[in-house]
Structure formats: structure tokens, C-alpha cells
Amino acid sequence: MSEATTEVTLRMAARALGRAGLAHAYGHCSVRLSEHEFLVCAPVPMGQVTPGAEGTVVPVDGPLPEGVLGEVRIHQQLYKTRPEAGGVVRCMPPKIMALSTLRRVPQMRHGMGAYFRAGMALWDSPLLIRDDASAEALAAQMAGMRAGVMRGNGLVTVGESIEEAVVLAWYAEDAAQIELEVLASGLDGVLVSAEEAALRDTWSGGILERMWAYLTFGDPEG
């Protein structure tokens, strides 16, 4: 992917997260450029990232460049510890937020929940992560997982691409909505089995591409 194409895709990702109600004034997303660098979106509400708005190149190791938001340290640590990571999303989905205040994360109750069959980490603090030690600890807690839920403070997803990270954020919020509705019913519900989840956790058949197209439909740079 060329640098220009990468910039466009990152802007589309940011706007998709805002348009889907997964982010408001706060949040950010990024895409890996190389082993040593990644590109983070402009430090504005993601739904308001304008066509042509430039992101900032950030080193995987080292201090954040001037003007980059403090919690981008989370992205740094995930890229540092996850060689497969190609994209990271930090967002504020309302259902995830509500469920997190119960110190809960979504369980595997439907097909989209199967993409989190390794679980979701629960970071049990509502405080902003603005120091390297906390970012390192969150990345360690998320080891092997595609998502981390921050109590009263949103969601982090990591994918092999920025498209995957965005789609996973949508899946996580969908799973949280179902979890809340099951809890409200007072019944136990049925969980997806490990065997079912292993088969359902697939991107084949255009699953990722279709959801990405749905989330970015009508984008001015699409």
C-alpha cells in the first residue's frame, strides 16, 4: 500500500468509527508503516477528520511527537509487542462502556463474538493511560487478545490491518449490546462453544471486506 493510499485508508477508518457511534470527541486510530513507525490520525474528533487531513508518523520506540495525544502510547506498545499488528483503534463505544462499569466484558454469545474467542482483557481503571508503564501493562494484559476493555474508559482493538481493527471495534460493541440485553432478561442464555468459535472465527468469503464497505459507505474519499 502506498503512503498516499495508507493516509486515505486511515482517514476513512477514523470517519467510519465516528459515523458508527463508536467514537465521539475522543479516540484515535493508527496503521503500521514499518517495524519502527506507525501513522496515527489527526488529533481531532475522528468523525470530523477531513479529506486530506494529515496524520502524524510516530516511532514505535521513543517519545511521542509534539501534538500527538498522550494515549497513543497504547498504540506504541501494541506495535512493539505484537508483530502481527497492522492497525490499532482506541474508541469509546457506549455499550462497551456501560458493560465495563459492571466489571464485565462481552461473552461469546453470537457469531461476531467468536472473533474474541481468546477473550477480551479488562483494564480495571477509568484513568487515562498517559505514561509508558501503564501502556506497557495494558499491552501485556491484552497479549494474544484482539481487544481490551477499559473500565469506564472505552475500548482498544488490534488487527492485522486497520480495516480489521475497525471491524473488530464494531463487533465488540455489537457483542456488548447483546450481553447487556441477555443480562437484562435475567436468563443465562447460550454461549458459543470453543469448537463453534474456532470455525466461526474466519475472514474468508469477504466477511471483512463487506463490513468495511458497510462502515465506509458514502465516505468522501471512498
Whole-number pLDDT of residue 12: 98
Residue 3 — pLDDT band, cuts 50, 70, 90?
confident
| Mean pLDDT, rounded, for 199-218 | 98
Residue 1 — pLDDT band, cuts 50, 70, 90?
low
Percent of the chain with pLDDT over 90: 98
Whole-number pLDDT of residue 93: 98
Query: Is residue 148 within 8 Å of 156, Cβ to Cβ?
Result: yes
Strands (E), the chain: 28-32, 37-40, 56-59, 87-91, 121-123, 147-150, 154-159
- Domain ranges in the chain are 3-216
Residue 144 — pLDDT band, cuts 50, 70, 90?
very high
pLDDT tens per residue across span 64-80? 999 999 999 999 999 99
| Mean pLDDT, rounded, for 96-117 | 98
Query: Is residue 49 within 8 Å of 41, Cβ to Cβ?
Result: yes
Q: Where are the alpha helices (DSSP H) in 61-107?
A: 72-81, 94-100
DSSP code, position 122: E
| Mean pLDDT, rounded, for 104-110 | 97
Architecture per CATH, 3-216 = 3-Layer(aba) Sandwich (3.40)
Percent of the chain with pLDDT over 70: 100
How far is the C-alpha of 214 from the C-alpha of 23, rounded, in Å? Answer: 17
- Residue 158 pLDDT greater than 90, yes or no: yes
